[in-house]
Amino acid sequence: MAGGYFNQALLVDLGTGHGRTVPLPDEVLRRYLGGVGLGTWLLHELSDPSVDALEPASVLAFVFSPLVGTPLTTSAKFAVVARSPLTGMLTDALASSHFAIAGKLTGHDAIAVQGRCERPSVLLVDGDGPRLVDADDVWGRSAEETEAVLGQRFGGGWRIAAIGPAGEAGVRYATISHDGRHAGRGGLGAVLGAKNLKAVAVRAATKVAIADPDGVLAAARDLRERSFGPATAKYRELGTLGNLLAFNAINTLPTNNFGASTFAEAPALAAEELHDLRHVARASCASCSIGCEHIYATKGGGSTRVEYENVYALGPLCGVSDPDAVLSASARCDELGIDTISAGGTIAWAMSCAEAGLLDLPWLRFGDGAALLRALDEIADGSGIGPLLAEGSARAAAQLGPAAQALTVTVKGLELPGYDPRTLPAMALGLAVNARGADHNRSGAYEADLGGELDRFAPGDAHVTAAIETEDRAAIIDSMILCKFLRGVFEEPFEEWSELLTLVTGWLMDGDELRATARRIVLAKRMFNLRAGWTLADDGLPRRLLDTPVTLESGRTVRLDEPTLTRMIAAYHRGRGLDGDGLPDADAYADLCLSDDLPDPARPGSTNPPEPPATLQPTGARP
C-alpha cells in the first residue's frame, strides 16, 4: 500500500444506513491522487451522471488526499464532489479544516453518500463505521449552530460538516461548511439537503502511514519557511480582498451585473480602507502557516470573514458600496449556507431584470444595500422573489424568457467570479471551457493575463497554452491537495509537487507524470459532463459579455470578440486532444481507468446506471 492512503472509500446508503467499502487500487489512486481527481473518478464509478443531483440516487463524496494529515502546510483540505443541482454537471468544491484530517483518519480516502434519509439525519463515521442519528434539533439552524449543538451532543473529537437553512430548502447554490470554511460553489449543500442529511460528523480512528516521514518533515519545514515569503504576503497582510482596488485599476472588477468593469466607489470596500477601520483579527485554516483570513467588524457588534469574491459579488456586482450592507450580506450568506458568488450574481441579474422591467420589483435596484439584504432574506425564507432567485440566475431566467436570459452572466449555469473576461482573454477561455462552469479556482488563467508576459488585449495561441497550463496546475494542486495561495512559492510546480508526493506515497513520481495526471483529471471531468448531457456548445461565454464592450479610461473600447473566442475554444479542444464531438481518442479514454465505455455524444445522459462494484462490503448500519 502506498503511503498517504487507505486504499478504500466508504459508500453509505442513506436509505438504510449501511456502508460499504469501495476498494481503491493503487492504479486508480496514482492516476487521480485524491481531492477533485479521485472524486471525479468516484463519481464516474459510483453514480449515474444522468441522475438529477437532487434525486436520492445521486452520489456526493467527501474526498481526502495523500497529503492530508502530513505536516505540510495548507494540506488539511478536502473536496466535495457531486453532480451540481445548479449546473447539472460535475462540481467539486474545496474547504480547509480539521474535518479533512478527522475524515481521512476514519480510515477512508473518501466518504460518499447515496440515497435519502427517512428523516433529517446526521451521518457519523469513525472507527465503528457509519451510522445515522436524528437531526431534529438542528434542522433549520445555521451550520455554525449545528456544529455547536452536535459537538455538545457527540462530545470531543468529532468534526462536523453541515449545511445551513439554504441547503435544507434546496437553494441551488447552497454550501457545505465546517468551522466557517465553505465548500462553496455548485450547490453541494442542496444535494445534502435533498438527502435529508443535515451534517456529516467524522472522528479520527487510526493513523496513516507515510513512506518517508523524515523526508516529509524536512519538506514541511522548508515549505513552511517559504510560506512566509513574498509570494504569500498579499494573503497575509490584506487577504484576497487586496484584489479589489487593484482589479478596479485595471478594468477587471465586474460591476452592475457586468455592465461595467470598474466601480467608482470601490475604495469604500477596499481592504486597504477596511483594514484600518474594521480589522478585528487574522486567522488560519487548520495546518496552515499563511493565515489569509481577515476578520472585519460588522454593524451591530458582530464580525465576519471577508474575501474578495464575497465583496465583489455582493458589492460592485450589485452596485453596492456601503460596507455595512456588504459585510452584513456576506455574514448572512455564511449563516444561511449559500455561495456568495452565485447569490450576488443572481441578485445582480435580478436587479438588471428589474431595471429592464422584466421583474416587477421596484425596490430591487443597483446600489441599494437594503434591497440586497432583503433579497437574501427572501431567498432564505422562500418569500417574495426568493423561490425564483433560489434557482440561480440561469434557471430563473429560463422561467422569464429570452430577454431575461440575455441578462444572465453564467457559464454552464454557474455565475461568474470577479474577473472580467472582456479584459482577461486567457481567463475568458479558462472560464468558457472549465468543467465546473465559470470558475476561478479550477482555471487560474488570470495569472497569464496579469503576469506581464502576455498582451491581455491581443489574445492568441499563447493565451490558449496558458489556459491549459494553469488548468493543469489547478487540477494537481486541487487533487494533492494544497492551498492555491501557496502556489507562488513553487518555481517548478510539477517537479516540486511530484517530490512531495514521492515522499508521502513512496511512488517515484516526476513532473511529467503529474502533467499527464493533470490532463487525465481534466479529461475525466469532461467525460462525466458528457454523460450528464454536456455538449461542445456548452463551452462558451454568455451573450451579455460578447455584446457589451468595456470602455477603458483612455477611451479605448475593448470587447470580447466572438470569432476570436471561438477560435481559442477550438484550439483548446485540440490542445486537449478532443475531436469535434468533444471526445478523446481511445488510448486517452482507456487511460482514465473507467468502467464505462466511451460515451456516445449523440445520446447524452444515456449511460446505464453502473452496477455497484462486486467487491463492496457492508461495514455498518443505522443504530
Interface positions with another protein (CB under 8 A): 230-231, 233-234, 237-238, 240-243, 245-247, 249-251, 271-272, 307-309, 418-419, 440, 444, 446-447, 449-452, 455-458, 484-485, 487-488, 552-556
Question: Would you list the DSSP string of 176-220?
Answer: EEETTEEE-TT-HHHHHHHTTEEEEEEE-------S-HHHHHHHH
Cα-based angle 564, 403, 443 (whole degrees, multiple of 5):
40
| Least distance from another protein to the Cβ atom of residue 556, Å | 7
CB 41 within 8 A of CB 28: yes
For residue 129, the Cα-to-chain-centroid distance in whole angstroms is 28
CB of 426 to another protein, least distance (A): 12
β 176-178/110-114 pair status: unpaired
Contact indicator for 337, 93 with CB cutoff of 8 Å: no
Q: Coil, strand or helix: which one is 547?
A: helix
Alpha carbon distance 595, 451 (integer Å): 41
CB of residue 86 vs another protein: minimum separation in angstroms?
21
E strand map for 292-448: 293-297, 303-306, 410-411, 414-415
Residue 340 beta carbon to another protein: minimum distance, rounded to whole angstroms:
12
- The secondary structure of 288-323 as a DSSP string is -SS--EEEEE-TTS-EEEE-HHHHHHHTGGGT---H
Grid cell for residue 504 = 508521502
Please tell me what DSSP assigns to residue 539.
Answer: S
Residue with Cβ nearer another protein (250 or 588) = 250
Tabulate helix, strand, coil % of the chain (nearest 5): 45, 15, 40
User: Which is nearer to another protein, 555 or 580 (by Cβ)?
Assistant: 555
CB of 583 to another protein, least distance (A): 32
CA 443 – CA 57 distance, rounded (Å): 30
Distance CA 173, CA 163 (A): 11
